[in-house]
Amino acid sequence: MKKNSFWIIFCSLFITAAITVPLSVSAEEKDLQTTIHMVEEGEYLSVIALEYDVTMEEIAEANDMETTDYLYAGQELVIPVEEEILDLSLPLENSEERTKEVTHVMTHFTSNAALTPQNPYSANDIYDNFVDYGVSAHYMIGRDGEIYQLVDEDRAAFHAGDGSLSGFPEYDNDMNQRSIGIELLALGTEEEMSSMMSPETYQSIDSADIGYTEDQYKALDKLLEDIEQRHPAIQRDRDHIVGHDEYAPDLKTDPGSLFKWSEIGLSQTREETQVHTVKEGDYLWGIANEYDTTSEVIAEANGMDSRDPLWIGQELIIPE
């Protein structure tokens, strides 16, 4: 049976992040990234250090300053926050050599709810089934925001299967090679889960286990920032960060309607985002007039100043 068929069977039983570490796999912590803190009026270094659970000395060293230096409102401080990524590496046969540039991220959900509705997020079971069915993702995010890495980014995980994405015809049935797969431990609506479990099973699940958590959104946002730094072709827009249900709408329902794309700064559907490619002679005010919006709205959506110069070929997100 093809890996894609296995994936369909797997998702029908196990609806991706993890809460407990499989007993057979060790967990290794890694640094993920730093973060930036904008100093507010009246803030002291000691208070900022407490907020991020680091020392004043660590912040001072990261910013080439002394702990006694004066802070001012608007100052940007690098905070050496250590994020945890737990290593749950899958066997090499659960992935393949990557031969194409990474340009996309695809999100999914998974759980054990069909078999154990009162304990839907067992990492042991999910990990074992990844192994058994020969499928995979690069990362899983648990209910408390813990991040697990299953496959290195330089390998293609078996997470997307067959499908197509509007605007990228050359990606048909080839998204594994071109994307990073992120699973979140979550459940969709009763309708979205209907092919995976009976109504009685769904209705027996604790309401707190339905949908996504704030900790998951925060962890996903930070993970995306880190991935985007390593893969500059991935842009924070709905053309490049997509759901499995958008790639294979006839087969998949994840991450589903309960996933709040706005929590990671994106529109709920791909259709709500327009992209304008800058042409020779374009000015921001002219582009704004074309889309019946303002220069300021476009600038904010693209993390730029409305006075910044534009260049030919530059892609601008135009919010609805």
Residues taking part in catalysis: 183
Cα 238 to the center of its chain, rounded Å: 12
Q: DSSP states of 31-45 as a string?
A: ----EEEEPPTT--H
Q: What is the mean pLDDT of residues 10-19?
A: 40
Q: What whole-number percentage of the chain has pLDDT above 70?
A: 87
pLDDT at 137: 98
Both tokens of 115, joined, read: 């078999």
Cα-based torsion angle of the residue sequence 183, 206, 267, 304 in order, rounded to the nearest 10 degrees: -70
Q: What is the mean pLDDT of residues 42-59?
A: 90
Q: What is the pTM of this model?
A: 0.66
Q: What is the mean pLDDT of residues 213-237?
A: 93
Range 3-26+84-268 has CATH code 3.40.80.10: yes
> Within the chain, where are the H helices?
3-13, 45-52, 56-62, 123-133, 175-178, 199-203, 214-230, 244-247, 284-290, 295-301
Q: What whole-number percentage of the chain has pLDDT above 90?
A: 64
* Fold agreement between 3-26+84-268 and 272-319: no
pLDDT category of residue 273 using cuts at 50, 70 and 90: low
Both tokens of 47, joined, read: 């208070």
pLDDT at 1: 46
pLDDT at 291: 87
pLDDT category of residue 271 using cuts at 50, 70 and 90: low
Question: In a 3-state reduction of DSSP, which class is residue 96?
Answer: strand
Domain 272-319 -> CATH class: alpha beta
Instruction: Find out whether 112 and 118 touch, Cβ atoms under 8 Å.
Output: no
User: What dotted CATH number matches 35-79?
Assistant: 3.10.350.10
**Between these two residues, 3 and 42, which has the higher pLDDT value?**
42
Q: What is the pLDDT of residues 121-179, one digit of tens each?
A: 988 888 988 999 999 999 999 999 999 999 999 999 999 999 999 888 899 999 999 99
Q: Is 189 exposed, middle or buried (0-12, 13-18, 19+ CB in 10 A)?
A: middle
What's the CA gap between 282 and 137, in Å, rounded?
A: 41
Q: What is the mean pLDDT of residues 198-221?
A: 96
Instruction: Look at residue 199 and tell me whether its pLDDT is greater than 90.
Output: yes
pLDDT at 320: 66
**Residue labelled with tokens 């309708």:** 191
Range in 14-18, 205-209, 249-253 with the lowest mean pLDDT:
14-18
Q: How many CB atoms lie within 10 A of CB 213?
A: 19
Write the CA distances from 14 to 3, 42, 58, 113, 280, integer angstroms.
16, 50, 42, 7, 51
pLDDT at 8: 43
Q: What is the pLDDT of residues 71-125, one digit of tens each?
A: 999 999 988 866 678 899 999 999 999 999 999 999 999 998 998 999 999 888 8
Cα 303 to the center of its chain, rounded Å: 19
**Between these two residues, 228 and 26, which has the higher pLDDT value?**
228
Q: How many CB atoms lie within 10 A of CB 294?
A: 14
Domain-by-domain residue ranges, the chain?
A: 3-26+84-268, 35-79, 272-319
Range in 123-137, 253-267, 270-284 with the lowest mean pLDDT:
270-284
